[in-house]
A = this chain, B = another copy of it.
């Protein structure tokens, strides 16, 4: 391949600006970066000249020479789930405000994809890296640790994170919901969600749920494990399977998320099963969808925006070597809905 200069159409380099301004390239570099050591007059002149010459700085060369970049890599399992798009959006804004550029990818819950992404990302020498969840391949952890790049795990709370961690305690969230449901008198819970290996956080919540029910001598059964995509259709399909697989349906059914719970509601509606009279339905996350339903799903609200905000602050603090803590655990909140018993009694006179 012919070697053409990297700057498009042989565009202006810093040296061209320097020549035009009659100063050294260092003065131009300082002026354009806003670094002190240039008189105001010269600075403005250089900036105007650079614009005139349509000079576009090369982040490639700049980062290489400066030995650091302003990139922050963020990986999330999927964008399908509104949870991650909300967290991501908050973080991205926070990073931008601090002058960092976010580079982003999805991993489809596959640790090997995450591993490949981390490897590619490290090659760009980012200022920081954000991973979702706390289940990563050993090699991912090793690479990150050795790289000495500030790393933050978000969404789950980890006891011993790679570096930093901001998240919720999924076991506790499941446990709290379990207590709430047993408090309402439910005794035969079912669960519809993903396979354990697929989504470790979901499994932790299920474990918490089981634990709470176990204290009342109840087991969560059946636990139906679905293949992705775990959204509306998955919930509807799961409910179909549940109802067709048993003569003795549960008194409450918990789902991976609100979307699945909604799909299940539709299936129940079609079959003439009355919610919550015949069965309770419980989601997770407290998504937007819920706020427009005429019969709201009982769910657990997760502090997604707050999580993104806190995570960004913490990572930035670490990058500037000012971090005071390593982990932040955020609380979740049970949101009573109209798909479990209690409120039903209140609203039907």
CB atoms of A124 and B60 under 8 A apart? yes
Chain B residues contacting A79 (CB-CB under 8 Å) are 79, 85, 88-89
CB atoms of B101 and A5 under 8 A apart? no
Q: How far is the CB of A344 from chain B (nearest CB, A)?
A: 17
Chain B residues contacting A69 (CB-CB under 8 Å) are 60
CB atoms of B104 and A103 under 8 A apart? yes
Tell me, in angstroms, the Cα distance from A3 to B68 when the chains sit together: 10
CB atoms of B231 and A288 under 8 A apart? yes
Q: Which of A144-152, A156-164, A246-254, A327-335 is the contact stretch?
A: A144-152
Using an 8 Å CB-CB cutoff, how does the interface string of A97-112 with B read, 1 for contact, 0 for none?
0000111111000000
Do A233 and B147 form a contact, CB below 8 Å, given A59-B124, A123-B58? no
CB atoms of B59 and A123 under 8 A apart? yes
Q: How many residues of A contact B (CB 8 A)?
A: 63
Tell me, in angstroms, the Cα distance from A122 to B7 when the chains sit together: 9
Chain B residues contacting A5 (CB-CB under 8 Å) are 67
Using an 8 Å CB-CB cutoff, how does the interface string of A170-198 with B read, 1 for contact, 0 for none?
00000000000000000000000000000
Residues on A lying within 8 angstroms of B by beta carbon are 3-9, 11, 54, 56-64, 67-69, 79-80, 82, 85, 88-89, 92, 101-106, 119-120, 122-125, 143, 146-149, 229, 231-233, 235-236, 262-263, 266-267, 269-270, 288-289, 291-294
